[in-house]
């Protein structure tokens, strides 16, 4: 398969009180189309910084991030914002939504803002409804965001991330604020999207979540220390066995 993300010698440095902090240090990895890759590591290891820098939400200090054939580290901010809107989807632990809009309005908002979409507003709303129906939350379409559960709201965020048919979804701890049942429901939906061909790069601290991915990259102090490939033939290993094997691998790396 073709690479959708190719990261080479990526560095991210912050200056705090005249002190240089190297958060990412010469990171190298790639993601192929259709993969679901988890980023794991201790607190403060650079997981979220890596996701934000690879997605262009944060500017790299040096190195390259080639997304869909374009080095986004060399693209101007306006063009980069356009790429994020039209070619990427985002899901966060904190489910940021506009409080003065209904759930459906929030789902459709990126499509309304997109200048590339040729659909009418009515057609965009229909797409939003179809996504919500697919994820089993159409009944909350007209609700305010404070009238629904955390699990429902996160599934709405998944719908929003998919509204412009992105080439990749970036997810930062998408189950971190959910209870176990809601987390499993959200992961079921992300797994379905991945099985349908959507590429996903996900930061998580949860081995149960990471075990649903195809690969796990382990980062410590801004360096990728190891890579775990989930067995292709999942039918030969139950989910609990995969999770146990992943946990053993993580512990061998100091988890």
HSE toward the beta carbon, residue 202, CA cutoff 13 A: 32
Q: Which two tokens stand for residue 127?
A: 């797409």
Which pLDDT score, from 0 to 100, does residue 235 have?
A: 59
Distance from C-alpha of 156 to C-alpha of 151, rounded to nearest angstrom: 9
Give the sign of the dihedral formed by CA 1, CA 192, CA 7, CA 217: negative
Distance from C-alpha of 213 to C-alpha of 200, rounded to nearest angstrom: 9
Which pLDDT score, from 0 to 100, does residue 96 have?
A: 86
Distance from C-alpha of 194 to C-alpha of 203, rounded to nearest angstrom: 15
Which pLDDT score, from 0 to 100, does residue 17 have?
A: 86
Give the CA dihedral 215, 220, 223, 224, nearest 10 degrees: -20
Which pLDDT score, from 0 to 100, does residue 239 have?
A: 78
Distance from C-alpha of 173 to C-alpha of 246, rounded to nearest angstrom: 18
Q: Starting at the earlier edge strand, list the strands of the sheet with 199-203.
A: 88-92, 168-172, 199-203, 36-40, 215-220, 223-229
Structural domains present in the chain: 3-97+165-252 (3.40.50.300)
What tens digit of pLDDT does each residue of 194-240 get? 999 999 999 999 999 999 999 999 999 999 999 999 887 565 567 78
Q: Which two tokens stand for residue 235?
A: 């039918």
Cα–Cα distances in angstroms (integers) from residue 30 to residues 70, 88, 199, 209, 254, in the given order: 14, 16, 12, 21, 24
Q: What is the pTM for the complete model shown? A: 0.94
pLDDT in tens, the chain (255 residues): 799 999 999 999 998 888 899 999 999 999 999 999 999 999 999 999 999 999 999 999 999 999 999 999 999 999 999 999 999 999 998 888 999 999 999 999 999 999 888 899 999 999 999 999 999 999 999 999 999 999 999 999 999 999 999 999 999 999 998 999 999 999 999 999 999 999 999 999 999 999 999 999 999 999 999 999 988 756 556 778 889 999 999 999 988
Which pLDDT score, from 0 to 100, does residue 167 have?
A: 95
Which pLDDT score, from 0 to 100, does residue 237 have?
A: 63
Q: Residue 37 forms beta bridges with which residues?
A: 201, 215
């Amino acid at each position: 398969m073709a690479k959708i993300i190719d990261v080479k010698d990526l560095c991210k440095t912050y200056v705090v009180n005249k002190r240089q902090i190297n958060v990412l240090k010469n990171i190298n990895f790639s993601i192929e189309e259709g993969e679901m890759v988890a980023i794991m590591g201790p607190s403060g290891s650079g997981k979220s910084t890596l996701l934000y820098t690879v997605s262009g939400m944060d500017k790299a200090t040096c190195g390259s991030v080639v997304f869909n054939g374009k080095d986004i580290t060399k693209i101007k901010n306006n063009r980069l914002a356009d790429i994020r809107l039209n070619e990427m989807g985002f899901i966060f632990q904190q489910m940021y939504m506009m409080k003065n809009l209904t759930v459906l309005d929030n789902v459709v908002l990126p499509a309304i803002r997109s200048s590339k979409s040729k659909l009418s507003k009515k057609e965009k709303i229909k797409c939003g409804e179809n996504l919500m129906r697919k994820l089993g939350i159409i009944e909350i379409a007209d609700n305010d965001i404070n009238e629904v559960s955390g699990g429902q709201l996160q599934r709405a965020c998944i719908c929003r991330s998919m509204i412009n048919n992105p080439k990749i979804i970036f997810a930062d701890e998408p189950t971190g604020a959910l209870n176990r049942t809601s987390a499993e429901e959200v992961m079921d939906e992300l797994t379905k999207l991945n099985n349908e061909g959507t590429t996903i790069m996900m930061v998580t601290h949860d081995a149960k979540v990471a075990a649903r991915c195809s690969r796990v990259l382990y980062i410590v102090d801004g360096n990728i220390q190891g890579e775990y490939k989930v067995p292709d033939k999942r039918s030969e290993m139950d989910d609990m066995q995969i999770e146990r094997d992943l946990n053993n691998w993580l512990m061998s790396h100091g988890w």
